[in-house]
A and B are shown apart, each in its own frame.
Chain A
Amino acid sequence: MARVVKWALPFVLALGFPFVGQEGYFTHLAITILIFSILASSLNLLMGYTGLVSIAHGAFYGIGAYTSGILVLRHGVPFWAAIVIATAFAGIVALGIGPPSFRTRGIYYIIVTIAFQLIASEIFDNWYSMTGGGLGLKGIPRPEPISLPFLPALGFQSKFVYYYLVLAVAAAVHYGIWRIIRSPLGIALMAIRDNETKALMMGLSPLRYKIGVFVFASALAGLAGSLYAHYLEYAHPDLFSFFVSVDVFLMVMLGGAGTLYGPPLGVLILEMLREVLHEFVALRLLLYGLLLIVIIVFLPEGLPRPLARWTRRLVTPRLLPGSAP
Chain B
Amino acid sequence: MIQVVVNGLVNGAILALMAISLTIIFSILRVPHFGLGGISVWGAFVAYFGVTRFGLNLALAVLLAAVSMAALGVLIEKLAFRPLRGATEDAMFVSAIGVLIAMENAALLLWGSDARSIPAEGLSFVLAVPGLVYLPAMRAVIFAVASLAFLGLYFFVKRTRTGKAMRAVAQDSAAARLLGVPIDRVASYTFALGSAMAGVAGALVGAAFTFNFEMGSPSVLKAFVVVVLGGMGSVAGAIVGGFALGTVDSLTLTYVTSEYKHLVAFGLLILVLVFRPSGIFGQRKLRADV
Contact = CB atoms under 8 A, between A and B. Distances in A.
Interface of A: 53, 55, 100-101, 103-108, 110-112, 114-116, 118-119, 122-123, 126, 196-197, 200, 242-243, 246, 249, 253, 282-283, 285-286, 288-293, 296-297, 300
Tell which of A103, A242, A289 has the most Cβ of chain B within 10 Å: A289
A293 B273 contact: no
A197 B105 contact: no
28 contacts: A55-B97, A100-B275, A103-B274, A103-B275, A107-B89, A108-B273, A110-B93, A111-B273, A112-B270, A112-B273, A115-B221, A115-B266, A119-B263, A119-B266, A122-B259, A196-B290, A197-B290, A246-B97, A282-B105, A285-B105, A286-B105, A289-B100, A289-B103, A292-B94, A293-B80, A293-B95, A296-B91, A300-B91
Contacts of B129: none
B102 A293 contact: yes
B290 A200 contact: yes
Name the prevailing secondary structure of the A interface residues: helix
A289 B101 contact: yes
B99 interface: yes
Contacts of B262: 118-119, 122
Contacts of A53: 90, 94
Interface string B62-98: 0000000000000000011001100111110111011
Interface of B: 32, 79-80, 83-84, 87-91, 93-95, 97-106, 108-109, 217-218, 221, 224, 259-263, 266-267, 269-270, 273-275, 277, 287, 289-290
Given A115-B266, A115-B270, A246-B101, 12 more contacts: A104-B274, A112-B269, A122-B259, A122-B260, A246-B97, A285-B105, A286-B102, A289-B97, A289-B101, A290-B98, A292-B97, A297-B83
Contacts of B79: 293
A24 to B, nearest CB: 31
B286 to A, nearest CB: 10
A292 B95 contact: yes
B88 to A, nearest CB: 7
A101 B274 contact: yes
Contacts of B269: 111-112, 115
A200 B290 CA distance: 10
B221 A114 contact: yes
A128 to B, nearest CB: 9
Contacts of A296: 84, 91, 94-95, 98
A288 B90 contact: no
Nearest to B257: A126
A285 B269 CA distance: 26
A299 to B, nearest CB: 12
A288 B289 CA distance: 32
A258 to B, nearest CB: 14
A200 B287 CA distance: 17
A208 B217 CA distance: 33
Nearest to B264: A119
Nearest to A300: B91
Contacts of A123: 260, 263
B290 to A, nearest CB: 6
A48 to B, nearest CB: 13
A118 B218 CA distance: 9
A53 B275 CA distance: 20
Nearest to A103: B274
Contacts of A107: 32, 89-90, 93
A292 B34 CA distance: 14
B102 A290 contact: yes
Nearest to B266: A115
Tell which of A110, A126, A292 has the most Cβ of chain B within 10 Å: A292
Nearest to A286: B105
A300 B101 CA distance: 19
A283 B109 contact: yes
Contacts of B99: 289, 293
A293 B83 CA distance: 10
B95 A106 contact: no
A111 B224 contact: yes
Contacts of A55: 97
Contacts of B261: 122
A115 B91 CA distance: 19
A253 B95 CA distance: 12
Contacts of A110: 90, 93
A116 B270 contact: yes
A282 B108 contact: yes
B220 to A, nearest CB: 11
B95 A297 contact: yes
Given A100-B274, A115-B266, A122-B260, A282 B102 contact: no
